[in-house]
Each structure stands twice: as structure tokens, then as C-alpha cells.
């Protein structure tokens, strides 16, 4: 792309980026049994995109994750979260009452698990989308990070 002396940085980043992304999903779906959860996973996922933007340039990152997608992701996350609440209401429960999702008696955990997983997916989308949007808004004002800037 530009000068060659970023080669090591780019190669290492290329190997790290998939690991960071997979780690974000691990944190997301392992949040029920260990530390972490959707907020952290969303931030880690956003950081993967931001790292890509810092190293390969903002235009490349915007081609990979378009800004409209990031904005839509944030909105979709909030909608998913709110939608679970509405689903519980449609089933005759109160807003966000996971027990009512499948009309289970107390002690049945399917509704709780489904509700928590859906809600956490909503949080993941909202956090990742909002963070990437914030970064795009901040970094989009300069075309490229020139070497002499550092």
C-alpha cells in the first residue's frame, strides 16, 4: 500500500485480527458461565474493526464494515433487546419477564436462557455498532493517518 516499513505491523495485525474477533464471540457466548459478557464482547469486536482501520487505513475499514452497517447494527441491537421484552408481553407476561417467553412454570429455565442470550446479542450489536460509529465519526475527518503524524 504505502511505505514498506509497516510490513511487520500489518502481518502481525492480520494474524491477530481473527483471534480478537473469535475471542469477542467467545466472551459473548461464554458470558453465562465465566467472566465477561455482551458489553465487553461488543467492545472487543469494535476494537478489532478499529485496529484494522488504524493499520490498513480508514477507507479500507469502511469498505469492510460500512458506516451504514455499523449504525444499523447499533439500532438493531436496541430493537432486539426491546423486542424480547415485547415478546414476553405478547406471551402474557410483563416486559422482559423471560419466564413468560414459553409460559413455563417456575423452575423451567428455557425462557431464562433464551431471553438472556437474545438480550446479550442485542447488547453486543448495540455496543459494537455504537463504538464503531463513534470511531468512524471521529476518524472520518482525516483521510489517512500519515506516517509523519506519529
Partner 1 sequence: MTGDMMGEASTSIISVLLLSILFVMGVAIAHLRNLFAIVMLSGIYSLVCAAWYILVDAVDVGFTEAAVGAGMSTAVLLGAILLTSRNAEPERRFARLGPLAVCIAAGAMLIYATSDLPAAGDPASPANTGVGLTYLQINWADTGVPNVVTSVLASYRGFDTLGETLVVFIAGLAVVLLLGFGERSLAETLRKLKKEDKVP
Q: Candidates 59, 64, 86, 90: give the one binding partner 1 (CB under 8 A).
A: 59
| Closest CB 18 distance from partner 1, rounded Å | 17
Cell of 93: 407476561
- 1 binds partner 1, rule: CB under 8 A: no
- Contact between 99 and 84 (Cβ < 8 Å): no
C-alpha distances out from residue 73 to 16, 45, 104, 146, Å? 24, 12, 31, 30
| Separation CA 49–CA 132 (nearest Å) | 7
Footprint of partner 1 (CB under 8 A): 27, 31-37, 39-40, 43-44, 46-47, 50-51, 54, 58-59, 62, 66-68, 71, 74-75, 77-78, 81-82, 85, 95-96, 98, 106-107, 109, 112-113, 115-116, 119-120, 122-123, 126-127, 129-131, 133-143, 145, 149-150
Amino acid at each position: 500500500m504505502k511505505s514498506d516499513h509497516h510490513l511487520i505491523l500489518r502481518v502481525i495485525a492480520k494474524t491477530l485480527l481473527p483471534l480478537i474477533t473469535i475471542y469477542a464471540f467467545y466472551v459473548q457466548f461464554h458470558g453465562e458461565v465465566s467472566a465477561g459478557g455482551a458489553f465487553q464482547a461488543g467492545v472487543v469486536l469494535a476494537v478489532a474493526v478499529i485496529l484494522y482501520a488504524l493499520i490498513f487505513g480508514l477507507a479500507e475499514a469502511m469498505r469492510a464494515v460500512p458506516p451504514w452497517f455499523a449504525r444499523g447494527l447499533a439500532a438493531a441491537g436496541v430493537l432486539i433487546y426491546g423486542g424480547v421484552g415485547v415478546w414476553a408481553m405478547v406471551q402474557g407476561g410483563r416486559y422482559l419477564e423471560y419466564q413468560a417467553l414459553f409460559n413455563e412454570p417456575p423452575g423451567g429455565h428455557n425462557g431464562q436462557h433464551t431471553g438472556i442470550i437474545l438480550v446479550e446479542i442485542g447488547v453486543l450489536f448495540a455496543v459494537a455498532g455504537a463504538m464503531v460509529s463513534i470511531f468512524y465519526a471521529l476518524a472520518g475527518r482525516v483521510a489517512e493517518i500519515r506516517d509523519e503524524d506519529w
